Structure 1
């Protein structure tokens, strides 16, 4: 059951509100002084909403006492909703506090229906907020568990969608099943392949990375499967192909959609039989290799167009991992930026919101290059949005900020990257040192300085 704290020096007011809430199954307690109300907040973690008066002394009508109480409540619990009770003389002060973060205000005497509606709305929002915090905490605990159990190869992420993908990648790593990783350019497909290999039983063996698009068409088969002496003009010695070199290990075939149809036939045979033939040879070579492939294309469309064999697709696609674009996991943007910035550089206050709202069409690769360029060209160690050489005006999202309040994960990431130096982490987050301290206290994060 939700619990409301009413703080008012008039016991009749407190009893009236308590009775109204009780009739609607809302528990409440009340305090007749600001000191008593603050004591409740210190000792009772189950309070979901505060309703407070703006005046507590008979000879004071300015609302300054209510403002002081509100500030004190905020210092104890920065995110608890606070509703203000006013008389006509204190409306201006109440409005100013609402603009500064208070939930709402209402005048005495009040309308029971309107008051009750507001209370229910804010309690519902409070419950949603708590559920979100629980979910974020569970995600953080799960992510920390993965980091302790597996080698994540320095991958930086905070989003739920990436966590699900990394969780699957680590769980399938121990098998020898073929994996295909799909996703847009620059989204991190190579990193996911590296994580799979690093946590596999083949991690002590060869891990060969091949960009199919970079192989010359005329020598693609020879590069992958090998060739005998004299097979073609440049074949002046026996060539061991990349797949054979990866025997007992793993091969990562990036841009698999660019594989020639002739090479596709040979790769299919290898996956079916564990055997290959070098060009110009009838000798069968036994090869035990795990194949991880990647593509930014829709392979089903390529199949329909006749550019890729359907039977090969199903052999490669025992496990499919779909890597989302960076704009679909915006929670990862700022942690990645902090990671690439390091502890020397920080973000100016104008940068975090604009950077998180930018769509990053080149994904993580574009973001990393952009940060490195900004570090080289910036006039000082505090980077403004103008240093990043991106046109945020082209982003429709830029007008509606997403990053309003740094989460616990974001703060922890900034503290870790700054070596625990609060002043440096605060600059990275675009906060004052005092503002970061308040958020650290709220999330019970240890202060090093």
Structure 2
């Protein structure tokens, strides 16, 4: 049951508040002065504080109440506090709301308003506690993965990546083929590196081949090697990727681009561990763990007859589906700060711009954006204009003239009103959240008819 601490030196008021709250199934406790209130907070956990601002030693200025509030805020930064006072100074109210007070009510209070305020804050407090517990659990999960796995420098914080890496930790030591799927730029090769680094062949070679970067006539020579004269220009024998990866891992990127002849020969190697160099009839045998990756829909390619179904099942004993960056938003800011380096910082507006961007190019795009920002920013602080995201949007729009151009950083009425509410009406703070200057937000408010209250 929710628990509220009432700090007030007037026993009659404390009793009235306690009875009112009990009628709505809310438990409360009472402390008669600031020192007793702080002591109770140190000894027990409360969900909300209702504190007086005018104690017997300081009945007019409210300084003792201000000091109590600031002491509560310092020791319990997430604890909501409602301020009660018999006097009403607007400046003091605004200052304390800015400092984190949840609400500010004058005596005598309106019962319905006070109860509604308490109930709303208790619901928010419960949600915040659950969120803190969730984040704490997520941090422990991340730390556990960091202890268990060699992550090869991977930066992550999002639960989706923690879940994926949990799967990686389970299959890394199994000597089975793994298919890594996901969009371009999402980090499939990094996942392959982590699988290798935590495998039973971690000390063996890690060899990569991009199956989409070579002409089809050279794929077999790349995979299996070639003897002298096996093809035009083959002046000397060469070792293929399978031989180079013997005792370790072979990573086949863009496996969907492997031509049919290469697919057939790859299937045979996966089944037997044996192959022949191009232009040779001597079998060679290797022990290689094969990891592969694709951004293609291999199921559709099988139905179209362009990818062998039997090869698919050989490669896909375990599938690791890497989500796009937009589907793991908790990774955006940690990755951005990692790419930016310790010499630069992101402004709040830049952080918001990064969160709002859809990242069609995934982690690769984010890395490029942060490298650009680091080069072009004039000072230590990175602002939205340094990111170049608006220019990317304009470029995309100009490439498709049938679509009306959009205006960057033009929030609608609902977005502005929500930002103002979160900022307790402080325009400068709301403007920073929206990625606008204060003057730009004022102009936008005037156009939309939003009052400056």
Question: Shorter-chain TM-score: what band?
Answer: 0.7 to 0.9
Aligned residues of 1:62 and 1:89 also touching (Cα < 8 A): no
**C-alpha displacement of 1:74:** 1.4
Matches of 1:383 and 1:99, distance apart in 2: 26
Is 1:34 equivalent to 2:34 in the alignment? yes
Is the counterpart of residue 302 in structure 1 residue 301 in structure 2? yes
Give matches, 1:319-334, under 5 Å. 319-334=318-333
How far did 1:210 drift? 1.0
143 and 72 in structure 1: CA distance in 2 versus 1, 3 angstrom threshold: same
Q: Distance in 2 between matches of 1:382 and 1:92?
A: 32
**TM-score, reference length from structure 2:** 0.80
Gaps spanning 5+ residues in structure 2: where? 394-405, 420-453
Contact 1:358/1:397, CA 8 A, preserved across alignment: no
Which residue pairs with 1:366 in the alignment?
Answer: 365
SS in 1 for 2:291: strand
Q: Evaluate the alpha carbon distance shift between residue 143 and residue 392 of structure 1 in structure 2; reply closer, same or farther with a 3 A threshold.
A: farther
Q: 1:134 and 1:349, CA in 2 relative to 1: closer, same or farther beyond 3 A?
A: closer
CA distance in structure 2 between the aligned counterparts of 1:136 and 1:314, rounded to whole angstroms:
38
CA distance in 1, matches of 2:53, 2:151: 53
- Aligned residue for 2:433? none
For each residue in 1:371-425, what CA deviation from the matched residue of structure 2 results, as whole angstroms up to 9, or x when unmatched?
222222222333322222221895999756999xxxxxxxxxxxxxxxxxxxxxx
**Distance change in 2, residues 1:209/1:396 (3 Å):** farther
Q: What do the CA deviations read for 1:305-348 (whole angstroms, capped 9, x no partner)?
A: 33222222221111111112222222222222222232222234
Deviation at 1:72, TM superposition (A): 2.8
Query: Matched residues in 1 for 2:261 and 2:62: separation?
Result: 82
CA distance in 2, matches of 1:90, 1:65: 15
**Cα deviation, residue 252, structure 1:** 0.7
Q: Which stretch has the larger CA shift, 61-70 or 28-37?
A: 61-70
Cα deviation for residue 24 of structure 1 reads 4.2
In structure 2, the CA distance between the partners of 1:379 and 1:110, relative to structure 1 (3 Å rule), is closer
Superposition pairs of residues 45-444 of structure 1, within 5 angstroms: 45-57=44-56, 60-61=59-60, 65-87=64-86, 89-90=88-89, 93-94=92-93, 97-98=96-97, 101-391=100-390, 394=393, 399=411
2:427 aligns with none
Aligned-pair CA distance for 1:165: 1.0
Q: Helix, strand or coil: the match of 2:389?
A: coil
* TM-score, normalised via structure 1 length: 0.81
Within 1, Cα distance between the matches of 2:300 and 2:254? 15
Spell out, residue by residue over 1:346-369, the C-alpha distance to the aligned partner (whole angstroms, 9 max, x if none): 234542222233222222222222
What is the alpha-carbon distance in structure 2 between the residues aligned to residue 116 and residue 329 of structure 1?
A: 39
Number of equivalences: 402
**2:438 match:** none
Which deviates more from structure 2 when the two are superposed, residues 153-162 or residues 238-247?
238-247
The residue aligned with 1:22 is 22
Question: What's the offset of the Cα at 1:247?
Answer: 1.6
- Call closer, same or farther: CA 1:397–1:12 in 2, change over 3 Å: farther
CA displacement at 1:113 relative to structure 2: 4.6
Question: Is contact 1:211-1:254 (8 Å) kept?
Answer: yes
More deviation, 272-281/155-164: 272-281
Q: Is the 8 A contact 1:54 1:90 kept in 2?
A: no
Question: How many angstroms does 1:11 deviate by?
Answer: 1.1
The 8 Å contact of residues 58 and 64 in structure 2, kept in 1 or not, is answered as no
CA distance in 1: counterparts of 2:262 and 2:121, whole angstroms: 62
Contact 2:73 2:100 in 1 (8 A): no
SS at match of 2:212: helix
Whether the 8 Å CA contact 2:178–2:291 is kept in 1: the answer is yes
| Cα drift, residue 38 of structure 1 | 2.5
Query: 1:63–1:90: 8 Å Cα contact kept in structure 2?
Result: no
Query: RMSD of the alignment, in Å?
Result: 2.9
Q: CA deviation at 1:207?
A: 0.7
